Structure 1
Amino acid sequence: MVTLDAVGAAVERLWPLSGASSWDSPGLAVGDPASEVRRIHLAVDAVLDTADEAVELGADLLLVHHPLLFRGVTTVAESTTKGAVIARLIRGSCALLAAHTNADVVVTGTSRAIASRLGLTGQRPIEASTPDTGIGIVGRAAQPITLMALARALSDFLPPTAGGVRVAGDHDRVVETIALCGGAGDSLLDDPSVVASDVYITSDLRHHPASDARDRMLLGRGPALIDISHWASEWLWLEQAAVELRAELPGVEITVSELRTDPWDFAVVR
């Protein structure tokens, strides 16, 4: 019998909690460590839809990228969104565990998943904890590519979202050195590795940091920008996580959610 505690040990081997950022809260949020786990369902977010999906599939564990209990949660009353998610999981006998920044920093992490799809060579972390591990990735394209072609390549392999792929820079601009960070990455805009790159791909770029970065680009002092969906940028990692979990837990069924948990349903563009 594979217990939830044994799954936690496997998760620790793959994505050690020691790699998590100080502000993060990954790990087990819901569940009895002694309970049996026969099926694990993977998703980026623990939201009502993925909780319902996990329960309907008969999953014993919903393993997500984003921690549900985060940033000063003081109640899980069922009248709150987080409480409603937890209540549905508990009623469905489904545990909840998150692997967040501890899964970002490893050599098979979220940014590596994007970099691998782009075929980048000479990959190294932007914010390194070791020569091979850390937040973000910098690498080189197999051959120079225009911003338009790069944006289209991203659009081709990322799951579709209402926001699509947004670009700051001339569509004919040729780029070769590519920096990227899955998830929210505007905190890295001033990193020397990002500034020295030709283009920076990330998510959740806010107006003022993006505007300042765009002006630096126009002055020849920084990269072009590509903004992609936060959810889409990290959804790619789920398949890699599933492969690794199957190797660690051969007796456990692993499934991956294809539900879109990007918060936006549609966009109106003129």
Structure 2
Amino acid sequence: MDDFRLRDLRTTAESLWPAATAEDWDRVGLVSGRDDAPLRRVLLAVDAVGATVDEALDRRADVLLTHHPLLLRGVHSVAEDTAKGALLARLIRGGCALFAAHTNADAPAGGVSDAIAERLGLLGAEPIVPGADPESGLGRVGRLPAAETLSAFANRVAGILPATVGGVRVAGDPGRPVERVALCGGAGDGLLDHPAVRSADVYVTSDLRHHPAQESLEASAAAGGPALIDIAHWAAESLWLEGAAERLRALLPGVEFRVSGIRTDPWTFSVAAESTG
């Protein structure tokens, strides 16, 4: 087996997901660890939380590679009486580095949105907002091989995702025919007014808020626009992990890349409201 080091993972990740393509507010790359540390086992997960840190340490992983950065906003202390400080301390003591590929992994070919488009079988998928590379950019828009009802398409969406408490929420006429599909991995309500989304039959994304969703539907009633499908953030982005692991395996042969099977969606159960009618 080749004698790989952490620096090799950093170089390889940069070739796949260049840090310069991340959004300005994002914090990607190496969070903790040293370049000359041995690289033998890597665990991939959407989130760095207690359960995935436990799994990484139990598997004696040298790196926990996550989609979401642990240190993204307003962190001024990593003291061990803070949640994030405690996680970092455990990783460091366990000899496990932490690395994040976030918005730089959303946009490129093979990224998060591409993974969703591929699973849905979209044809001719292209970025909603193109980047410098024509094949990269925010979101994707493409066509189904044949039109189907919104209800059937919603079931198709549910079928490609791991189960979550929130499931798949849909806004629109169940019998509406859909063929042109826009989507955005992660929280995508910032693209609701984009022409490529407005001209689609349905828009699939996560974390749709009440007012933006309501305003989009009102605009659709007045002038045409997409039905909306809201999917769990973790579930959508988890689809990227196996493809990322495959690319890393091909470029770093002999290093074990394993995808975590732990669900880090934050919701654990739901309770239906009782009807008063």
Q: Aligning the two structures, in what range does the TM-score lie when normalised by the shorter sequence? A: over 0.9
Q: Per-residue deviation at 1:218? A: 2.1
Counterpart contact for 2:40–2:61, Cα < 8 Å: yes
Distance 2:87 2:200 in 1: 41
Distance 2:267 2:81 in 1: 23
Distance 2:248 2:42 in 1: 9
Q: Per-residue deviation at 1:216? A: 1.6
| 2:264 aligned partner | 261
Correspondence list, 1:16-55, <5 A: 16-55=18-57
Distance 1:205 1:211 in 2: 10
Equivalent position amino acid for 2:11 in 1: A
Counterpart contact for 2:120–2:160, Cα < 8 Å: no
Correspondence list, 1:179-218, <5 A: 179-218=182-221
- Is 1:90 the counterpart of 2:92? The answer is yes
Identity in percent: 57
Q: Per-residue deviation at 1:198? A: 0.6
| 2:150 aligned partner | 147
Q: Per-residue deviation at 1:211? A: 0.9
Residue 138 of structure 2, aligned match among 116, 132, 135? 135
Counterpart contact for 1:138–1:193, Cα < 8 Å: yes
TM-score (norm. length: structure 1)? 0.98
Distance 1:122 1:157 in 2: 19
3-state SS, counterpart of residue 264 of structure 2: coil
3-state SS, counterpart of residue 219 of structure 1: helix
Residue 251 of structure 2, aligned match among 245, 248, 251? 248
Correspondence list, 1:53-92, <5 A: 53-92=55-94
| 2:120 aligned partner | 118
| 2:233 aligned partner | 230
How many residues are matched?
A: 270
Q: Per-residue deviation at 1:103? A: 0.7
Alpha-carbon RMSD: 0.9
3-state SS, counterpart of residue 167 of structure 1: strand
Q: Per-residue deviation at 1:220? A: 3.8
Distance 1:2 1:84 in 2: 28
Unaligned runs of 5+ residues in structure 1 are none
Distance 2:241 2:56 in 1: 15
3-state SS, counterpart of residue 59 of structure 1: coil
Q: Per-residue deviation at 1:219? A: 2.1
Distance 1:37 1:132 in 2: 31
| 1:105 aligned partner | 107
Counterpart contact for 2:42–2:258, Cα < 8 Å: yes
Unaligned runs of 5+ residues in structure 2 are none
3-state SS, counterpart of residue 205 of structure 1: coil
Equivalent position amino acid for 2:244 in 1: A
3-state SS, counterpart of residue 73 of structure 2: coil
Distance 1:91 1:135 in 2: 37
